[in-house]
Copies of this chain bind each other. A is one copy, B any other.
Amino acid sequence: MQANIAAAKAALAHLDVEEKDVAIKAASRDFFWYSPVLKNRLDHVTADFVVRPKDEAEVIEILKVCYEHDVPVTTRGAGTGNYGQAMPLEGGCVMHLRHMDKVREIHPGRVICEPGVLLKDVDAATREHSGQELRMFSSTWATATIGGFIAGGSGGVGSCTWGALRDLGNIIRLRVVTMEAEPRIVEFTGEELARVSHAYGTNGIITEVEMPLAPAYDWVEMFVTFHDFMDAARFSEDLANQDGILIKLATVFEAPIAHDYFQRVKPHVQPGTNLVGLMVAPHSMDGFLTFAGRRPEATIIYRNDDHNWERGPGPVFEYGWNHTTLRALKVDPSITYLQVRYGHPNSLKLVEKMRDDFSPEVLQHLEVMRESGRVIFAGLSLVKFTTEERLNEIIKLHEDAGAMIFNPHRYTLEEGGRQTVDDRQLNFKKESDPKGLLNPGKMISWDDPDWAFNEMYAHPRLQPLTKA
């Protein structure tokens, strides 16, 4: 199977096709460079051309043409993914959905929109329409698309209340186009959603999404400081367990993260300050202040609605989730990170143990989440990177202790997840992408059903190009 790039390009020439090398290179990259492991391996990856459909009919046309000419298609939302999800390992076509940015319908509790609309623009439309907003968003709210969030993300700001994106009820419906001689349009709800959500666009292109909404409030964003790290973690857990206090974010940063990496926060903290970032509903502020008043170990140093900081810190959520790593990286390029799940019921004990074992080589950054109705912590720990071997060792020691790792230094679905094959996704790929042209290299079970996961997977077409 040899891709006929020239024929495909010619057939698509009447669409919005990008030909400039610099622009193609840019549209072939995401935030893979967060990972020192992926950085070397993926740096050279680039598409042959980029095309930007303006509607579902054009998506179908592109898929049909690329199918005919055996051209790989990697779909791109905004390219803020950080494990190379949106990078075209085999070159070919990057299909960029930025023109598909319409919000179609808004109803009480739900919105229907195209995949390429930015998360912030969904929220602007639903807020304007009826005081509603998305239940949860990745901290890349300002730059990422809703389609990319669903196909590549897992949760974020709001998950402390609503759980993960994959939880029942957090996606209502997805409309998907398949990669066949005659692309089909399929509508997925319920059990079927798992086929294409968080599938990195490997088995179908999402052309319309229906998502649940929550009320939009003028969230009060705060920073709260603690001398003791575990006090900060307990405070966040206890707060999330207050049924009557509505929050959208509770993030814990071990010292000296706030002092060393948060430039605008630095003047207001010490190296030893542990920080908690919060978003609390305005009508829950009385309850929150009562809660905080019972905990003298907590000091509120910033409220977005009432502060005297010379330079405001910007949105507090842009310190949390994967933004923490971004801020740390900017100051210290040797920093990387891990994604940890500290599950129920020993969430805090496990955090404490990992901190005892690894601080300061690994600094705790925790996000409060809900899982099966319980408050747990997701860790996006900052790691002072030395070698791949040491990184793998740290991962292993976490897993041995019972702290599950979602490895962000892997670009495949399986390795970044639970290292098992998702049959629902694999089976649907057999129907929907028989030639294996959609985002090739990201689903190991497609390329190599017998892969044992004991070393890092490197796609055959990728391997020869790396100079490792």
Among residues of B, the one whose C-beta sits closest to the C-beta of A110 is B283
A216-252 contacts to B, CB under 8 A, are 216-218, 240-246
The answer to whether B241 touches A169 (Cβ under 8 A) is no
A169 and B372 contact, CB distance less than 8 A: no
A293-B243 contact in complex given A131-B108, A374-B374, C-beta closer than 8 Å: no
* Contact of B373 with A169 in the complex, beta carbons under 8 Å: no
The stretch that binds B, out of A77-85, A159-167, A175-183, A355-363, is A159-167
How far in angstroms is the closest Cβ of chain B from A187? 11
- Contact of A170 with B109 in the complex, beta carbons under 8 Å: no
Q: Are A286 and B172 in contact (CB under 8 A)?
A: yes
- Output the nearest chain B residue to A111 by Cβ-Cβ distance: B283
Q: Give min CB distance, A151 to chain B, whole Å.
A: 18
Q: CA separation between A445 and B163, bound complex, in Å?
A: 45
Interface residues on A, range: 35 or more
Q: Does A130 contact B (CB under 8 A)?
A: yes
| A281 close to chain B: CB less than 8 A | yes
Q: Is the CB of B108 within 8 A of A242?
A: no
A38 contacts the other chain (CB 8 A): no
With a cutoff of 8 Å between Cβ atoms, the chain B residues found around residue A442 in the complex are: none
- Closest B residue, CB atoms, query A192: B290
Interfacial residues of chain A within 241-287, with CB under 8 A of chain B in the complex? 241-246, 281-284, 286-287
Please name all residues of chain B whose beta carbon is closer than 8 Å to the beta carbon of A282 when the two chains form the complex: 108-109
A243 and B109 contacting across the interface, CB-CB below 8 Å: no
Q: Are A293 and B240 in touch, CB under 8 angstroms?
A: no
The complex places the Cα of A109 from the Cα of B110 at a distance, in Å, of 19
Is A460 at the interface (CB under 8 A from chain B)?
A: no
Interface: A463 (CB within 8 A): no
Is A435 an interface position by the 8 A CB rule? no
A450 interface residue per 8 A CB criterion: no
Instruction: Let me know if A4 is at the binding interface, CB within 8 A.
Output: no
Counting chain B CB atoms within 10 Å of each CB, the highest count among A163, A189, A190 belongs to A190
CA distance A163 to B245 in the complex (A): 10
A242: chain B residues within 8 A (beta carbon): 163, 167-169, 372-373
Q: Which residue of B lies closest to A371 (CB)?
A: B243
Q: Judge whether B214 and A168 touch: CB under 8 Å.
A: no
Is A291 located at the chain interface by the 8 A CB criterion? yes
Residue on B nearest A160 in the bound complex, by CB: B243
B108 pairs with A169, CB closer than 8 A: no
Pick the most buried of A162, A164, A283: most chain B CB atoms within 10 A of its CB.
A283
Q: Which of A89-115 contact B (CB under 8 A)?
A: 107-110
A148 at the interface (CB under 8 A from B): no
Q: Which listed residue, B107, B241, B283, B373, touches A372 by the CB 8 Å rule?
A: B241
Q: In angstroms, how far is the closest chain B Cβ from the Cβ of A49?
A: 38
A170 to B: closest C-beta gap in Å: 4
Please report A residues at the B interface, Cβ cutoff 8 Å: 107-110, 130-132, 135, 161-164, 167-170, 172-173, 189-191, 212-218, 240-246, 281-284, 286-291, 293, 345, 370-375
Between-chain CB contacts (< 8 Å), 22 pairs: A108-B131, A109-B246, A109-B284, A110-B283, A135-B244, A167-B244, A168-B242, A169-B287, A190-B287, A190-B289, A190-B290, A190-B293, A191-B290, A212-B283, A213-B283, A215-B215, A240-B373, A241-B372, A241-B373, A241-B374, A242-B372, A243-B372
Which 10 A-B pairs have CB atoms at the shortest separation, nearest pair first?
Answer: A241-B373, A169-B287, A163-B243, A169-B244, A109-B283, A190-B290, A167-B244, A170-B244, A168-B287, A169-B245
A sample of 11 more A-B contacts (CB under 8 A), given A169-B245, A243-B373, is: A108-B217, A109-B281, A110-B283, A164-B243, A168-B244, A169-B246, A169-B286, A170-B243, A189-B290, A190-B287, A373-B374
